[in-house]
Amino acid sequence: MKTTKPDNRAKRSKSVNGEELTDMNFPVSQPMKIHFPDGLVIEVSGPYCTPQEWASRTSMTEDEVKQALYDRRMARHQFSPRGDLYVNVVMEIRRLLDAKPWN
């Protein structure tokens, strides 16, 4: 017997500038500006990133980033209780600026 329910997967994916998009794959056209109460403004490509992306941005290996996330030595974000761990880019930048490594 043939099912009567339509396939909704085709409706969820969209195309922007010829690029196929899903929920977690979207192009970032310009950096986000984040204003802090003390007057500091930073620009980031996104507030969160994957451990793989953070490892490519820094000199850390992917395993070191994952271990730091699990040990809570790095600012992290988890969208759901059993979801993946992401690096909280905004808090990591804020932690770096508060440490003042240039002094």
pLDDT tens for 53-86 read 999 989 899 999 999 999 999 999 999 999 999 9
The torsion angle over the Cα atoms of residues 61, 57, 101 and 98, rounded to 10 degrees, is -110
Three-state SS letters, 3-15: CCCCCCHHHHCEE
Q: Give pLDDT tens digits for 31-56.
A: 888 888 888 888 888 889 999 999 99
Supply the pLDDT for residue 36: 82
- Using a cut of 0.75, tell me whether the model's pTM lies above it: no
pLDDT single digits (tens) 13-35: 555 555 555 545 555 457 888 88
Amino acid letter, residue 3: T
32 contacts 43 by C-beta, under 8 angstroms: yes
